[in-house]
A and B are shown apart, each in its own frame.
Chain A
Amino acid sequence: GAVVSQHPSRVICKSGTSVKIECRSLDFQATTMFWYRQFPKKSLMLMATSNEGSKATYEQGVEKDKFLINHASLTLSTLTVTSAHPEDSSFYICSALDREGHQPQHFGDGTRLSIL
Chain B
Amino acid sequence: AQSVTQLGSHVSVSEGALVLLRCNYSSSVPPYLFWYVQYPNQGLQLLLKYTTGATLVKGINGFEAEFKKSETSFHLTKPSAHMSDAAEYFCAVSVGWDYNQGGKLIFGQGTELSVKP
Contact = CB atoms under 8 A, between A and B. Distances in A.
Interface of A: 4, 6, 31-32, 34, 42-44, 46, 49, 51, 91, 93, 95, 97, 100-110, 112
Contacts of B99: 31-32, 49, 51, 97, 101
B90 A44 contact: yes
Q: Among A49, A97, A103, find the residue whose CB has the most chain B CB atoms closer than 10 A.
A: A103
B94 A103 contact: yes
Contacts, number: 68
A105 B103 contact: yes
Contacts of B96: 103
B43 A103 contact: no
Contacts of B97: 102-103
Contacts of A108: 43
Given A43-B107, A101-B98, A103-B49, A93 B43 contact: yes
Contact of B49 (A46, A51, A104, A110): A104
A112 B41 CA distance: 8
B46 interface: yes
Contacts of B46: 104, 106
B28 interface: no
B98 A97 contact: yes
B112 to A, nearest CB: 8
Contacts of A93: 43-44
Nearest to A51: B99
A100 B43 contact: no
